[in-house]
Amino acid sequence: MGPGEPRLDVARVRGLFPGLSDGFVHTDAPAGTLVPESVAHAVSSAMRVPVANRGGVFPSSARTEGLVASARAAVADLVGGVSTGVVLGPNTTTLTYAVARALARTWRHGDEVVVSRLDHDANIRPWVQLAEQVGVAVRWAEVDIETGELPAWQYDELITPRTRLVAVTAASNAIGTRPDVAAIATRAHAVGALVFVDAVQAAPHVLLDRAALGADFLAVSAYTFCGPHVGAVVADPALLAELAPDRLLPAPDRVPDRFESGTPPFELYAGVTAAVDHLAGLCEDAVGSRRDRLRVSMAAVAAYEGGLFDWLDQALRAMRHVQVVGFPEHTTPTLSFTVPGMRPRQVAAELSRRAICAWDGDFYARELFDALGVNELGGAVRLGLAHYNTAEEVGYVIDSVAALRSAL
């Protein structure tokens, strides 16, 4: 980061998070970040006033309409989409299944879909299962087992004139790898295939631009970017209008509502808006539209988290009793590691005893950890940073992982 570039005032930022007062180091962000007071306040405020269902002619119903419109506008700003292309739902997995079912209706026997071994299972299994049901072939993009990269060149072979869909992650939830999604999408679009991008782990760390990524569908989950447990899929409204998702007969047929089943958690939508506002406000001196402020704030987040992560990553790689999984070049601030001689659960328990939150397991990156041989070891331990982590915390985590040596 150069002089004069916006910086994150982490002391101020930490003051926004009541959850940080529990005395733990929260390095479990990939499974869900803490929420700032503004998000909790937005949700509880939405429940303190009359909230009705949508579509009524009375004021509390109009208020609910506003909650939905605001959440859609916020997510659109976050990923560079338009409100009418923002489908909200309970989580990314449920929405991916909904889109997969709708797309599968357009597939024909002999068509092909391409999934990647790098992905969270949420962006693999729906496609594989729907492909099986329709008689569509599944082709797999492989991970370089030395580096944990997902080489884009392999898509030259994988994508054929029969390819209908390419599903790929913008960032691995297990080892942080950020593949060249735009290059993969260019290859997919050259044959008329659609691209479904899982941005659940990218959204908290970089400013996304759906069009620049070439994502026909882009999925995010607000609980990874300081919001509540709500998911969203963003697409071109014209594309959504072409698809026929499962839908109750009396439910609205307009876009994007036709993809949203049942009565949603309107109060949580208030939290989605507050979460995007939180990100946009991380740099207090950022000005302009919310998208402009997001651009500045997320650049500061990326620079700040990147500096901390490089330190963590290099320190762990230098420890002889630790094996960091993969060695990707472009990453989010997430890594997984093993300690040969200790079960991952034991490592996580030892870190927890030292007041560090760290996940163990395969993190639903089952295909990746099978391919890399990590599951044979019982999985790995994951550390993921968020913009509220400090250098002091990272130093403490490094010391704590170093101290595991004495338990061997």
Q: Which residues bind ligand PLP (CB under 6 A)?
A: 30-31, 91-93, 120, 122-123, 169, 173, 198, 200-201, 221, 231
Q: Are strands 380-384 and 334-338 parallel, antiparallel or unpaired?
A: antiparallel
If the CB atoms of residues 231 and 361 are measured against ligand PLP, the closer one turns out to be 231
- Dihedral of CA 98/102/104/105: which sign? positive
Please report how close the Cβ of residue 121 comes to ligand PLP at its closest, in angstroms: 8
Cβ(216)–Cβ(69) below 8 Å: no
If the CB atoms of residues 308 and 365 are measured against ligand PLP, the closer one turns out to be 365
- Residue 79 CA to its chain's centroid (Å): 12
Please report how close the Cβ of residue 175 comes to ligand PLP at its closest, in angstroms: 11
If the CB atoms of residues 168 and 302 are measured against ligand PLP, the closer one turns out to be 168
If the CB atoms of residues 173 and 273 are measured against ligand PLP, the closer one turns out to be 173
Q: What is the DSSP letter of 5?
A: S
Angle at CA of residue 110, ends 109 and 113, nearest 5° = 100
Please report how close the Cβ of residue 380 comes to ligand PLP at its closest, in angstroms: 15
If the CB atoms of residues 61 and 91 are measured against ligand PLP, the closer one turns out to be 91
> Two tokens at 144?
């370089």
Residue 233 DSSP SS3: strand
Neighbours of 2 (CB within 10 A): 5
If the CB atoms of residues 120 and 293 are measured against ligand PLP, the closer one turns out to be 120
Please report how close the Cβ of residue 298 comes to ligand PLP at its closest, in angstroms: 18
If the CB atoms of residues 169 and 297 are measured against ligand PLP, the closer one turns out to be 169
The residue written with tokens 């659609």 in the block is 194
Please report how close the Cβ of residue 178 comes to ligand PLP at its closest, in angstroms: 11
Please report how close the Cβ of residue 129 comes to ligand PLP at its closest, in angstroms: 15
- What is the C-alpha separation between 333 and 44, in angstroms, rounded? 31
Q: Which helix (DSSP H) or strand (DSSP E) does residue 370 occupy?
A: helix 366-371
Q: Are strands 86-89 and 194-198 parallel, antiparallel or unpaired?
A: unpaired
Please report how close the Cβ of residue 252 comes to ligand PLP at its closest, in angstroms: 23
Residue 89 pairs with which residues in a beta bridge? 231
